[in-house]
Amino acid sequence: MREIGIIMNGVTGRMGTNQHLIRSILALQEEGGVELPDGERVVPKPVLVGRNERKLERLAEEHGVERWEADPDLEYCLDGDEEIYFDSQVTPRRAAAVERAIDAGKDVYCEKPLATDLDTAMDLARAAEKAGVKHGIVQDKLWLPGIMKLQRLLDQGFFGDVLSVQIDFGYWVFTGHGQPANRPSWNYRAEDGGGIIDDMFAHFSYVLENLFGSVETVSCLGKTHIPERVDENGETYEATADDAAYATFELEDGVVAQVNASWATRVNRDDLLEIQVDGTEGSAVAGLRECTVQGQATTPKPVWNPDQPKDHEFAEDWTEVPDNRTFENAFKEQWELFIRHQVADEPFPYDFLSGAEGVQLAELGYESWERGERLDVPDLEL
């Protein structure tokens, strides 16, 4: 058994604390580390880094983390022996920090989006390759139980030829008038890296590519439905970022993906994220954890008659896909893969180039919206 040091920058935020620190790194510590192919176990040892000394100290004390540094410019922490640098800061701060870590010879794993623009994302990917450091991007949705069940169905040929994919994501984010907002205010300021296209297209990029094929064209309409919100200090501010996006992607082999993402919608579906896949031999609807299917032989013949009350419960025609395994936390699953990649050189395809593809899709989404055109998605090469 041995330790591996991980510099964790920006984990005082909600997702960084809960998903990356507590449910991933500290959970792996409690389990005795990550097991390698030769049976050796590697225990992650975090060093918390950030801008807010008070938050860092409190977080470290609460969870028994031995070392923390209020070192936002990474002047000191990169000089240590820690092997991995992890970044979950807000997007505009990420590129400069990741570049410093690469220059210091650290292997780098970071949240998405990789950068605020494609040129910067590609510069980081090329810099990591040139420096010979290992690099990875968080693509957590691939390990959600519902999406893993979709992957199982695809692997077993359940759908026949996949025809189309429909993704609905979102929920109502309170404006702060009357009730506190349930997302940080920076999400709604473009100048701070906010916007649902920047946030979610990075996810849609890797989910679509890994399950159904690469994205070849994009047509996108964005909206700022709610122009004014209230921040954490009770101050009214102008929402300059998009809070909804309505997009159509064409994938390889002619598969069409329709995607709606909104922070200005109220949920009337089974989950906050719902993916419907239709194929020649069957269909499936997956949420974050559950997945139901309807095969060709069990598909009913509905009759269109708007003059009569509905007398059929269509949801009852679908069958639940069983778990058939124990599902771990999605972030933790990918952390284990990256640690094995770093220590034992196991394959890890979720690298900075795939992160750059997510940035590219968001950038093209904004351009498509601005120009009112469907745009091709070029292949990226280092």
The pLDDT value recorded for residue 103 is: 97
pLDDT in tens, 344-358: 999 999 999 999 999
Spatial contact of 222 and 245, defined as CB atoms under 8 Å apart: yes
For every residue of 82-150, which 3-state class applies, written as one string?
Answer: CCEEEECCCHHHHHHHHHHHHHCCCEEEECCCCCCCHHHHHHHHHHHHHHCCCEEECCHHHHCHHHHHH
pLDDT in tens, 310-363: 888 999 999 999 999 999 999 999 999 999 999 999 999 999 999 999 999 999
Pairing of strands 41-50, 2-9: parallel
Per-residue pLDDT, averaged over 113-134, amounts to: 97
pTM value? 0.95
Q: Label residues 231-260 b or e (16+ Cβ within 10 Å = b).
A: eeeeeeeebebbbbbebebbbeeebebebe
Per-residue pLDDT, averaged over 72-97, amounts to: 94
The pLDDT value recorded for residue 72 is: 86
Spatial contact of 69 and 47, defined as CB atoms under 8 Å apart: yes
The pLDDT value recorded for residue 311 is: 87
Checking if the pLDDT of 1 tops 90, the result is no
Q: Label residues 74-109 b or e (16+ Cβ within 10 Å = b).
A: beebbeeebbbbbbbbbbebbbebbbbbbebebbbb
Per-residue pLDDT, averaged over 279-302, amounts to: 97
Q: Which residue, 69, 60, 72, is CA-closest to 26?
A: 60
Pairing of strands 34-35, 67-70: unpaired
pLDDT in tens, 172-229: 999 999 999 999 999 999 999 999 999 999 999 999 999 999 999 999 999 999 999 9
Confidence of residue 51 (pLDDT cuts 50, 70, 90): very high
Tokens of 299: 């598909």
Percent of the chain with pLDDT over 70: 100
Spatial contact of 368 and 219, defined as CB atoms under 8 Å apart: yes
Q: Which residue, 256, 243, 245, 188, is CA-closest to 220?
A: 245
Q: Which residue, 26, 38, 110, 66, is CA-closest to 343?
A: 38
The pLDDT value recorded for residue 144 is: 98
Rounded distance between C-alpha atoms, residue 344 and residue 41, angstroms: 11
Q: What is the mean pLDDT of the chain?
A: 96
Spatial contact of 4 and 16, defined as CB atoms under 8 Å apart: no
Query: Which residue ranges form the domains of the chain, and what is each CATH number?
Result: 2-140+330-350 (3.40.50.720), 142-325+360-371 (3.30.360.10)
Spatial contact of 48 and 67, defined as CB atoms under 8 Å apart: yes
Token pair 């997009």: residue: 247
Rounded distance between C-alpha atoms, residue 150 and residue 356, angstroms: 25
Q: Which residue, 138, 162, 135, is CA-closest to 151?
A: 162
Contacts (Cβ under 8 Å, ≥6 apart) of 281: 157, 158, 159, 160, 161, 295, 296
- CA trace torsion 325, 331, 337, 343 (10° rounding): -140
